[in-house]
Chains A and B, each alone.
Chain A
Amino acid sequence: MASPIEQFQIKPIIPAINFTNSSLFMVGAVAVIVGGLLLATRKRAVVPGRAQSVAEVLHDFVAGTLRDAAGVEGMKFFPLVFSLFMFVLTANLLGMIPGFYTVTSQVIVTFSLAILVIGTVVVYGFVKHGTHFLGLFVPSGVPAWLLPFIVVIELISFLSRPISLSLRLFANMLAGHIALKVFAGFVVALLGAGGMISILAPLPLLMAVALMALEFLVAALQAYVFTVLTCIYLNDALHPGH
């Protein structure tokens, strides 16, 4: 039986171009997203079928989230936010299939995505607002003697955003998959022990089933959380200054 962390192992497939199981599932996620969405919308029906409804619900859901958080001007980031949401959601859900690799269980992947978000916020903020973007760190209505502290706190809070954004997703996926593997391992261990102890084997199995349901929820929820926070951070780039 494999260790609970063996599932996170990066295994090369084509070493020459650094193509690994992680790369394979990144490509797979893109194929599933684009292929699925194009297939679902191929009829371009005015009255949507089941698959097209799902595609439209995803579109409207992300659009609504972005519009609520960043306003109508935020819609210029819609392709980015939609891509991020679909990528994280699909990577999380693909990882739920037994034997499939979970791309988002690698901290470097989630950190790269978080850096992409924060990088977009910083670059767009400075291009659009210039030095006025720095007003993000200077809340209005704060007494002058308190200002240095507030600026430092705001700066730290801003710099910790990519860390919290990436660690939240990474840790959730990692912990969920480890927990699943541990309980699945108990089933095997109890059965392997033989005799009366084997009777207890269904208990961790039930737990694993329950955890599986929870992990599906977490997979979708973390994709949503990542998207909502992205929208909120983008709102800072669009409307700096408190």
Chain B
Amino acid sequence: MAQAAQTTHATTEAHGGAHEDVGFPPFKTETFAGQVIWLTITFVLLYTLISKLVLPRLSGIIENRRVTIAGDLDEAAAMKSRAEEAGAAYEKALAEAKGRAQSLAQDARAKAATETDAKRKTLEADLAKRLADFEATIAQKKTAAMSNVRGIAHETATAIVERLTGKAPAPQTVEAALDQSKA
């Protein structure tokens, strides 16, 4: 195996030497000038294209993205603050409405209370007046009835005495007896 490799190596060296000059290619100084010239040409070309064409486009893309993202973020922040403002306004309106509703309810309650109070008072006064009227009527009726009672007693007593004695007593006697029983 080693022998095979050696012979191959030997033939290649012979082969290489036959059609090219011997020597390590990177150290062949006669090729240097040509390489440096072409390196200069290509590198200047590369530098020019990179700095004038490629990098402006690349940094433009990146800058554009940065601006877009920053703009979107700003917009989002503005929207958020607007939403928060709207939320705060809503809360405020709600609190105001609540306060108004409460005062309205209180007013209504107070009004209803005074109204019912007044109604109750007039009703009570009315009732008291009617009670007084009825009492007066009752007293009147009572005196009238009481005066009638004397007449009825007079007639009844006269009738009883007439039945018992067969003769009607004198009205003065009956009156006297009535006065006596009453006392």
Contacts and interface: CB of A to CB of B under 8 A. Distances in A.
Are A and B part of the same complex? yes
A41 B57 contact: yes
A103 B39 CA distance: 9
A185 B34 contact: no
A179 interface: no
Contacts, number: 147
B38 to A, nearest CB: 4
B32 interface: yes
A202 interface: no
Contacts of B53: 34, 38
B36 to A, nearest CB: 6
A52 to B, nearest CB: 7
Interface residues of B, number: 46
B31 A20 contact: yes
Contact of A44 (B12, B15, B27, B57): B57
A69 B53 CA distance: 25
B52 to A, nearest CB: 9
A200 to B, nearest CB: 8
A80 B44 CA distance: 10
Given A82-B55, A189-B5, A44 B61 contact: yes
Contacts of A2: 12, 15-16
A119 interface: no
Which of B27, B37, B39, B64 has the largest count of A CB atoms less than 10 A from its CB? Answer: B39
Nearest to A80: B47
B13 A107 contact: no
A1 B12 contact: yes
Interface string B58-71: 11111011001000
B54 interface: yes
10 contacts: A10-B25, A10-B34, A22-B38, A23-B34, A38-B57, A41-B57, A59-B62, A86-B46, A103-B39, A189-B8
Interface of A: 1-3, 5-6, 8-10, 18-20, 22-23, 26-27, 29-30, 33-34, 37-38, 41, 44-46, 48, 52, 55-56, 59-60, 78-80, 82-83, 86-87, 103, 105-109, 112-113, 116, 170, 174, 185-186, 189-190, 192-193, 197, 200
Given A37-B50, A106-B35, 6 more contacts: A8-B24, A23-B38, A27-B42, A37-B58, A113-B43, A190-B1
